[in-house]
């Protein structure tokens, strides 16, 4: 499973990128707002740092306007994936932009039917939002399983990009289901390294090393 980082925080991306943990980046208008930076400037900086797809989201609601914005965003770098919402207009924009050879990430997906439409429209990525479904007491991971089954039934090549990930547990569950990509905030990716038994075991080893007077360098 590929790891995308769900942030526009360039320092956080750089730290994970140096560790080889970044196969791509996803942003959205809320993350751009949080960064406090200009969308063109920060997106360019991210694209220069990361070789994989970098999702940049349109803000228009009409297909023609989304297409114009998508073309503009795609000028930033070759690795831009234009992010469009899963609306009828978004699907129209997806078809036009993918036909032009651009990567398109169809976002705000909350049902298997929406994912089916995005695949038919040629989406490069479909972004089902796990956490926002969980918030409504609907199991977001079930949606990932349903989309995996449907795409495999018909050989759709659209990549399942599990989004709105809130916990390290979501990451391993997505990997078990077979999501192609999971995009998570930097904190969630780092939390994947944590285990209480690791901390406990390390405490003991540190104590025993002191008692044994072990010196290595």
Beta carbons of 78 and 113 less than 8 angstroms apart? no
Minimum CB distance to ligand E4P, residue 117 (Å):
18
Contact 66, 90 (CB under 8 A): yes
CB 74 within 8 A of CB 98: no
Nearer to ligand E4P, 169 or 206 (CB): 169
Contact predicate 68/100, CB 8 Å:
no
Out of 26, 43, 98, 114, which residue is the one contacting ligand E4P (CB under 6 A)? 26
Backbone CA torsion sign across 200, 206, 207, 209: positive
Catalytic residues: 83
Of positions 132, 150, 180, 190, contacts ligand E4P by CB under 6 A: 132
Q: Rg of the chain's alpha carbons, rounded to an integer? A: 19
Question: In 75-167, which ranges are continuous DSSP H helix?
Answer: 88-99, 112-120, 130-134, 140-154
23 binds ligand E4P (CB under 6 A): no
29 touching ligand E4P, by CB under 6 A = no
Q: Which stretch binds ligand E4P (CB under 6 A): 12-20, 85-93, 125-133, 152-160?
A: 125-133
Q: Which residue is nearest to ligand E4P (CB)?
A: 164
Picking from 55, 63, 61, 50, the residue whose alpha carbon sits closest to that of residue 19 is 50
Indicate whether 127 belongs to the interface with ligand E4P (CB under 6 A): yes
Nearest distance, CB of residue 129 and ligand E4P, angstroms: 5
User: How near is the Cβ of 5 to ligand E4P at its closest, in Å?
Assistant: 10
User: In this chain, which of 10, 28, 79, 114 binds ligand E4P, going by CB under 6 A?
Assistant: 28
CA atoms within 13 Å, Cβ hemisphere of 51: 3
Q: Are 22 and 5 in contact (CB under 8 A)?
A: yes
Q: How far is the CB of 207 from ligand E4P (least distance, A)?
A: 40
Which spans of this chain sit near ligand E4P (rule: CB under 6 A)? 6, 26, 28, 107, 127, 129, 131-132, 163-164, 183
């Amino acid at each position: 499973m590929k790891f995308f980082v769900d942030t526009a925080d360039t320092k956080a991306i750089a730290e994970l990128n140096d560790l080889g943990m970044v196969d791509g980046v996803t942003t959205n208008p809320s993350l751009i707002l949080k960064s406090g930076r200009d969308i063109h400037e920060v997106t360019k900086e991210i694209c220069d740092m990361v070789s994989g797809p970098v999702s940049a989201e349109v803000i228009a609601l009409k297909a023609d306007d989304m297409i114009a914005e998508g073309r503009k965003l795609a000028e930033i770098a070759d690795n831009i994936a234009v992010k469009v919402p899963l609306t009828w207009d978004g699907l129209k924009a997806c078809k036009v932009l993918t036909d032009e050879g651009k990567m398109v990430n169809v976002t705000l997906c909350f049902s298997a039917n929406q994912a089916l439409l995005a695949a038919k429209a040629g989406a490069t990525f479909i972004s089902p939002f796990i956490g926002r479904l969980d918030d409504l007491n609907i199991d977001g991971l079930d949606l990932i399983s349903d989309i995996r089954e449907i795409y495999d039934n018909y050989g759709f090549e659209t990549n399942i990009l599990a989004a709105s990930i809130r916990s390290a547990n979501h990451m391993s569950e997505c990997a078990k289901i077979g999501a192609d990509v999971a995009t998570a905030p930097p904190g969630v990716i780092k939390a994947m390294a944590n285990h209480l038994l690791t901390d406990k075991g390390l405490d003991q080893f540190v104590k025993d090393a002191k008692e044994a007077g072990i010196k290595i360098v």
